Structure 1
Amino acid sequence: MEKPLEYLIRKPKVSIENPPLLVLLHGVGSNEEDLFSLANYLPESFLVVSARGPLTLAPDSYAWYEVLFTTGQPKINLEQEKESRRLLLEFLDYLKLNYQFDESNVWIGGFSQGAIMSYSVGLLYPERIKGIIALSGRLLEENKEIVKITDDLLKKKIFISHGNNDRVLSVEYARSVKQYLESIGIRPHYREYPEGHSINREMLKDLIQWLEENL
């Protein structure tokens, strides 16, 4: 099987036969090195994989789909988003063929557009994903409409963090996801921070603690 996406990998720091897998997805205009810089802080038992979006914007600058803000509201290329979702599922299959990990313990998370993709994959294919990490993201309305409420979905562990001074993706997006998840019976871990569109030390500390509690 050909490699569907470029990626960086950190193997577990402890000897473990079937480690949990954590797939990290960067935001628009970034690359796989961005969130990989957090890998050393994350729980040692994880097999951590940081993937590169398939769309090249410029040298070292990638995305999961094109987005335009010309109307003040983000307008996205839905076909590209759907294709990136397909590639991510294929990527999970590729990882399974090449690395040893626990298929019932797969986590996906990202920042900004990476968080959006994490919601898409985790909520639309809940049987493949145990937990979702959404840092400064949103849930696409188009995908919310096709979410199927199943037992697998209702077991989802979801971590949401957002800066309430975010000028790129308003904190209202995070609040609306929280409201939606609670309305279908999922209680996410939710927290806002006095921060812009970025990840600060406090968010990272809370994420690590949450992962350790939920692993």
Structure 2
Amino acid sequence: MHKENIITVGKPINEASKALIMIHGRGASANDILSLAAYLPVSEYALLAPQATNFTWYPLSFLAPPVENEPWLSSALGLLKKTIDCIQEYGIDKRNIFFLGFSQGACLMLEFVARNAARYGGAVAFTGGLIGDKIYQDNYTGTFEGMPVFIGSSNPDMHVPAERVHASSAMLRAMGANVTEKIYDNMGHTIIEDEIKQATDLVFNPAH
């Protein structure tokens, strides 16, 4: 099971009015994903990055049947719930809680928000999609009430098929999210400058 290990940097959470949960990819670390904050307008945010035990959130591909990634998947989703609970204990409203993930972290993040839909501040998925051998609509409840979501990915991508990105965007839109999806030809499994710009303009812009 995942140990509760949440790295917190940025503005002290007891002084911040906004919080960003950053979720790293397979084989990476909380500190790796936190380094992205230098490129985003989040200097006034408390930044929280849970660390996966053994540097992976679940053992198999995100396209495997969810039961085959248990009990790690449920443990990882539970750690995100604890992270939100921690933030809310400091009086930060859901509308001021934001999410960002890359690769396996993006998949986990999208799965979490879809299973717990609400009007959070916004979500950014750098190369990810909803988890499972298919879209399990019955797992997803609630409404996003227009929450902004940006999903960027490559076509092709070695881990995340564009078809799953499209299906995930459609599911989130059906639940009331304001989704901007951008597929980049031959981008590779990485994050590029245009994705940072899209995330800034669509999700972290103060107008939201």
Instruction: Quickly name the TM-score band, shorter chain normalised.
Output: 0.7 to 0.9
Q: Contact between 1:122 and 1:128, CA under 8 Å: does it hold in 2? A: no
Residues 163-208 of structure 1: per-residue CA shift (max 9 Å, x gap):
1131221222211212333344434011112301110112112211
Q: Contact between 1:122 and 1:131, CA under 8 Å: does it hold in 2? A: no
Distance 1:64 1:118 in 2: 11
Instruction: Kindly state the Cα deviation for residue 212 of structure 1 after the two structures are TM-superposed.
Output: 0.6
For structure 2, the 5+ residue unaligned runs are none
| Correspondence list, 1:1-215, <5 A | 4-11=4-11, 18-43=16-41, 44-53=43-52, 55-56=53-54, 62-68=55-61, 74=64, 76-97=68-89, 101-127=92-118, 129-140=120-131, 141=134, 143-148=136-141, 150=142, 152-194=143-185, 195-210=187-202, 211-212=204-205, 215=208
Larger of the two Rg values belongs to structure? 1
Instruction: Kindly state the Cα deviation for residue 78 of structure 1 after the two structures are TM-superposed.
Output: 3.1
Q: Contact between 1:115 and 1:134, CA under 8 Å: does it hold in 2? A: yes
After superposition, the Cα gap between the structure-2 partners of 1:107 and 1:214, relative to the gap in structure 1 and judged at 3 Å, is farther
Instruction: Kindly state the Cα deviation for residue 214 of structure 1 after the two structures are TM-superposed.
Output: 5.2
After superposition, the Cα gap between the structure-2 partners of 1:132 and 1:68, relative to the gap in structure 1 and judged at 3 Å, is closer
Figure out how many residues of one structure are paired with residues of the other and give that number.
198
TM-score under structure 2 length normalisation: 0.82
After superposition, the Cα gap between the structure-2 partners of 1:213 and 1:128, relative to the gap in structure 1 and judged at 3 Å, is closer
TM-score under structure 1 length normalisation: 0.79
Q: Contact between 1:126 and 1:156, CA under 8 Å: does it hold in 2? A: no
Distance 1:187 1:96 in 2: 24
After superposition, the Cα gap between the structure-2 partners of 1:136 and 1:68, relative to the gap in structure 1 and judged at 3 Å, is closer
Distance 2:4 2:147 in 1: 26
* Counterpart residue identity of residue 28, structure 2: S
Distance 1:111 1:202 in 2: 15
Task: Report the secondary structure of 2:101's partner residue.
Answer: strand
* Counterpart residue identity of residue 21, structure 2: V
* Counterpart residue identity of residue 104, structure 2: Q
Q: Contact between 1:47 and 1:101, CA under 8 Å: does it hold in 2? A: no
After superposition, the Cα gap between the structure-2 partners of 1:124 and 1:136, relative to the gap in structure 1 and judged at 3 Å, is same
**C-alpha RMSD of the superposition:** 2.6
For structure 1, the 5+ residue unaligned runs are 57-61
Q: Percent identity?
A: 24
* Counterpart residue identity of residue 146, structure 2: K
* Counterpart residue identity of residue 201, structure 1: E
Q: Contact between 2:8 and 2:46, CA under 8 Å: does it hold in 1? A: no
Instruction: Kindly state the Cα deviation for residue 17 of structure 1 after the two structures are TM-superposed.
Output: 5.4
